[in-house]
């Protein structure tokens, strides 16, 4: 039987500080005896703005970014951090619904986990 993996949801830029944070996540997985499988999501600028400024995201009041201009500024000035020494999944989600993205990610990471792992959801955006 397959148990869900620990899941850390975050986005880090390709700078020294964010690289250190991402490395902490990899170290956490190692200390916990868990595989570390980065997933890099990409989407078009237009779709990214549409999702960030959606009425449902704004209404959720989660503290997530909802300013399209700020998003574009961040995208223009920062590249996404990627591990050079860890194989990850690269997925363009521009034309994929959330459920399909989740299915593809789950399919990818399920091959990286042994059956004896108990999973927990850890969302770093909400500091659980």
Q: Where are the beta strands (DSSP E) in the chain?
A: 7-8, 39-42, 89-92, 121-122
**pTM as predicted:** 0.76
Question: Quick one: pLDDT at residue 55?
Answer: 96
**Which tokens is 62 given?**
């989660």
What residue segments make up the domains of the chain, in order of their start?
Answer: 7-126
C-beta neighbour count of 62 within 10 angstroms: 12
Distance of CA 1 to the CA centre of its chain: 25
**What residues are paired with 13 via a beta bridge?**
80
**What residues are paired with 92 via a beta bridge?**
42
Q: How confident is the model at residue 118 (pLDDT cuts 50, 70, 90)?
A: very low
Question: Quick one: pLDDT at residue 107?
Answer: 86
Measured in degrees and rounded to the nearest 5, phi and psi for residue 8 equal: -110, 125
Which pLDDT tens digit goes with each residue over 61-115?
Answer: 899 999 999 999 999 999 999 999 988 899 999 999 999 999 998 888 776 654 4
């Amino acid at each position: 039987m397959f148990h869900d993996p620990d899941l850390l949801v975050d986005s880090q830029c390709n700078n020294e500080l964010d690289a250190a944070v991402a490395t902490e996540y990899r170290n956490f997985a190692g200390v916990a005896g868990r595989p570390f499988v980065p997933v890099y999501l990409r989407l078009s600028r237009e779709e990214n703005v549409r999702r960030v400024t959606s009425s449902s995201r704004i209404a959720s009041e989660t503290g997530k970014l909802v300013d399209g201009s700020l998003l574009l500024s961040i995208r223009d000035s920062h590249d996404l951090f990627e591990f050079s020494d860890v194989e990850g999944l690269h997925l363009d989600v521009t034309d994929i619904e959330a459920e399909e993205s989740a299915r593809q990610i789950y399919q990818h990471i399920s091959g990286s986990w042994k059956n004896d792992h108990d999973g927990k959801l850890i969302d770093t955006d909400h500091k659980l």
